[in-house]
């Protein structure tokens, strides 16, 4: 079974970069207790509807491909019961982490060996009679975050005997083709100056951008390795709506104001620590998957950089207008930008694995020109379980947190998503760069900027 071009690029990236994990997790807090056997059946039926999930990685020094299996390889669902055993843990850690947090940390930092197991796994952590946590972990060379959330919704819906229609592959879509390259060619045919915009963006991204590195987020720790961990905060529905209204008042979206908040928070954080900040660049994932590909599990995400200089961040309204204008320009008027990484990955995928390893070292150089990744998977909807009483063997999801991958040079990945009307901010970070206290301090700064962001619609 073939990998699409971005799958291959991400795989070459991880194979070549020691210590760089490209796995990510979604953590779901539950009310009620799932039945493990029933959950395994839901996972199996969902995976069989998406053949790429029933695969392991094969290949030698020249090429990689996926090998499809008819049944599970290894155990994709692991059940850990903290209520049935006495958990012994380090007394020093006990002051900062509960036994459940320690188990989740160990789980998300355990590498996924895609040669011997499927590119995803699930943890059911039982902490009390009606207090459980489901942790879904995925390998990014097989599936992106948006598709992963749809897959999780599929699994939970099947558990409750409500399999969604979207589980079925759309008629005429080949599950083993390079669907991303096909979509890029369709976009090329209907977009003026597509090649010019694509090549211009690639030239700038690869040859010009790396020469003008933006400011990094200040950190005072540099260790050779470290776990990925996270901290989270939320704003309620009323405050979320006020945030939307502020952005809408100048023709923007909630994504625009979230990016503006990131710029100003990084600027304030660096100045707080005596670091001069000029250019700040955010790497923003962009979903280029079309409705026709809803049933295809793969990477359908591209990336675009957004940059600001010091004078752009002085005035909050002006910054929001600039972010909005830049988003419109890149995503609507310059569509070639969005698909440039697809063509770049397609060319990279034509080369033997050994050559991709060498080139991926160079790719890191422009990639790391960005300050941080700012991810927004959008509205999270999982499991149509209702809000009423939970039946025996049933459960409902009451909270969601995301733990995206983190590049060590950036040290941090900011993820925002809405769930049940609340807006969650999840910051993943490497413990080699940030302590728990520093990460939470930066998150508090972001939340303060979010709550107090000033917008003047009448300002020219």
CA distances in angstroms from 123 to 136, 143, 274, 382, listed in the order given: 7, 18, 42, 17
- pLDDT at res. 92: 45
Predicted confidence (pLDDT) per residue in 230-284, tens digit: 999 999 999 999 999 999 999 999 999 999 999 999 999 999 999 988 999 999 9
Spatial separation of the C-alpha atoms in residues 184 and 177, rounded to whole Å: 13
**17-20-25 Cα angle (round to 5):** 150
Predicted confidence (pLDDT) per residue in 427-455, tens digit: 999 999 999 999 999 999 999 999 999 99
CATH number for the domain formed by residue range(s) 5-451: 3.30.559.30
- pLDDT at res. 16: 59
- The answer to whether the pTM exceeds 0.75 is yes
Mean pLDDT of 9-13: 75
Residue 175 has pLDDT above 60, yes or no: no
- At 55 the three-state DSSP class reads strand
Spatial separation of the C-alpha atoms in residues 343 and 7, rounded to whole Å: 13
Going by pLDDT thresholds of 50, 70 and 90, the confidence category of residue 365 is: low
Long-range contacts of the stretch 300-303 (C-beta < 8 A, 24+):
300/6, 300/144, 300/146, 300/147, 300/179, 300/180, 300/183, 301/6, 301/144, 301/145, 301/146, 302/338, 302/339, 302/340, 302/341, 302/342, 303/341
Residue with the bigger pLDDT between 86 and 122: it is 122
Residue 389 has pLDDT above 60, yes or no: no
- The domain spans of the chain are 5-451
- pLDDT at res. 129: 82
């Amino acid at each position: 079974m073939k990998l699409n071009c971005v799958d291959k690029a991400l795989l070459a990236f991880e194979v070549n970069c020691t210590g760089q994990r490209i796995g990510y997790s979604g953590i779901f807090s539950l009310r009620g207790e799932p039945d493990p056997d029933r959950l395994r059946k839901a996972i199996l039926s969902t995976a069989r509807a998406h053949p790429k999930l029933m695969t392991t990685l094969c290949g030698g020094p020249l090429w990689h491909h996926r090998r499809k299996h008819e049944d599970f390889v290894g155990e994709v669902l692991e059940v850990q019961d903290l209520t049935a055993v006495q958990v012994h843990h380090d007394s020093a850690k006990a002051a900062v982490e509960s036994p459940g947090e320690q188990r989740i940390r160990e789980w998300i930092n355990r590498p996924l060996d895609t040669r011997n197991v499927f590119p995803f796994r699930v943890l059911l952590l039982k902490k009390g009679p009606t207090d459980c946590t489901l942790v879904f972990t995925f390998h990014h060379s097989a599936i992106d975050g948006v598709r992963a959330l749809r897959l999780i919704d599929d699994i939970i819906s099947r558990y409750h005997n409500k399999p969604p229609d979207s589980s079925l592959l759309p008629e005429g879509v080949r599950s083993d083709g390079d669907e991303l390259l096909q979509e890029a060619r369709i976009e090329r045919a209907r977009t003026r100056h597509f090649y010019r915009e694509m090549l211009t963006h690639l030239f700038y991204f690869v040859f010009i951008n790396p020469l003008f590195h933006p400011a990094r987020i200040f950190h005072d720790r540099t260790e050779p390795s470290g776990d990925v961990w996270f901290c989270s905060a939320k704003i309620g529905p009323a405050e979320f709506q006020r945030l939307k209204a502020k952005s809408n008042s100048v023709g923007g979206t909630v994504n625009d104001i979230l990016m503006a908040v990131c710029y100003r928070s990084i600027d304030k954080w660096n100045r707080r620590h005596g670091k001069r900040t000029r250019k700040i660049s955010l790497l923003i994932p962009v979903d280029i998957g079309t409705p026709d590909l809803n049933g295809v599990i793969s990477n359908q995400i591209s990336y675009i950089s957004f940059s600001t200089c010091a004078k752009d961040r002085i005035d909050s309204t002006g910054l929001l207008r600039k972010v909005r204008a830049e988003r419109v320009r890149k995503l609507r008027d310059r569509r070639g930008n969005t698909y440039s990484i697809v063509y770049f990955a397609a060319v990279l995928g034509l080369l033997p694995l050994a050559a991709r390893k060498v080139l991926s070292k160079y790719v890191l150089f422009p990639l790391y020109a960005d300050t941080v990744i700012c991810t927004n998977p959008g509205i999270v909807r999982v499991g149509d379980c209702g809000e009423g009483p939970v039946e025996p063997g049933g459960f409902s999801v009451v909270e969601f947190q995301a733990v995206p991958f983190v590049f060590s040079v950036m040290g941090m990945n900011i993820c925002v998503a809405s769930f049940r009307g609340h807006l969650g901010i999840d910051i993943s970070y490497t413990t080699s760069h940030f302590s728990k206290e520093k990460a939470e301090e930066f998150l508090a700064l972001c939340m303060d900027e979010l709550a107090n962001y000033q917008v003047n619609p009448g300002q020219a």
